[in-house]
Amino acid sequence: MKKKTDARNKKLWGGRFSGASSDITERMSASIQYDARLYRQDIRGSIAHARMLKKAGVLSAAELAAIEKGLREIEIEIEEGRFEFSASLEDIHMNIEAALTDRIGDAGRKLHTARSRNDQIALDLRLYLRDEAMDIDRQILELVS
């Protein structure tokens, strides 16, 4: 993977502050240790969003292909334990988006078009809970079979 993006001075919040956040502030505001488990759902949601952006004319076919390929590579790296999450990037969305942008450039930045982080986490949680409920259902069926 290319050089990691250091987002300490590129926060989506705290625009009125001139300096970088302290390490303790970084650790307290980071949620990656909790939401890293949402990577599959975040990637699925990002692929669906990219396809919508292509239909809307925001992305070209080549950009969509690059985004999908990059996201699938990131998913494999996470599953194999080769992806390095950064607490300075705060959450699963920013970690994946930064890695994607490092790989494919400006097309990765376009993925955030018409999409808030609140939308992303709401979708990720719904997909995660659905996946978990389906897994519980499968386990119950195995148990009673």
Number of structural domains (the chain) is: 1
Domain annotation covers residue 11: no
Give me the helices (H) in the chain, please: 23-29, 32-35, 39-55, 61-79, 92-104, 106-110, 117-144
| Local confidence band at 12 (pLDDT 50, 70, 90 cut-offs) | low
Q: pLDDT per residue over 35-65, tens digit each?
A: 999 999 999 999 999 999 999 999 999 999 9
Backbone CA torsion sign across 71, 76, 79, 81 = negative
Query: What is the pLDDT at residue 20?
Result: 73
CA distance 41 to 57: 24
- In-domain check, residue 70: yes
Q: What is the CATH number of the domain that holds 89?
A: 1.10.275.10
Q: Is residue 64 part of a domain?
A: yes
At residue 43, the pLDDT reads 99
Would you say residue 1 lies in a domain?
no
State pLDDT tens for residues 66-106.
999 999 999 999 999 999 999 888 899 999 999 999 999 99
pTM greater than the 0.85 cutoff: no
120-to-43, 82, 129, 136 alpha-carbon distances in Å: 10, 24, 14, 24
pLDDT tops 50 at residue 140: yes
Q: Do the domain assignments include residue 89?
A: yes
pLDDT at residue 72, rounded to an integer: 99
Amino acid 78 reads I
Tell me which residue range forms the domain holding 72: 23-144
Residue 3, pLDDT score: 39
Q: How far apart are CA 32 and CA 72, in angstroms?
A: 19
Does residue 99 sit within a domain? yes
Asked, for residue 9, whether it belongs to a domain, the answer is no
| pLDDT exceeds cutoff 60 at 13 | no
49 inside domain: yes
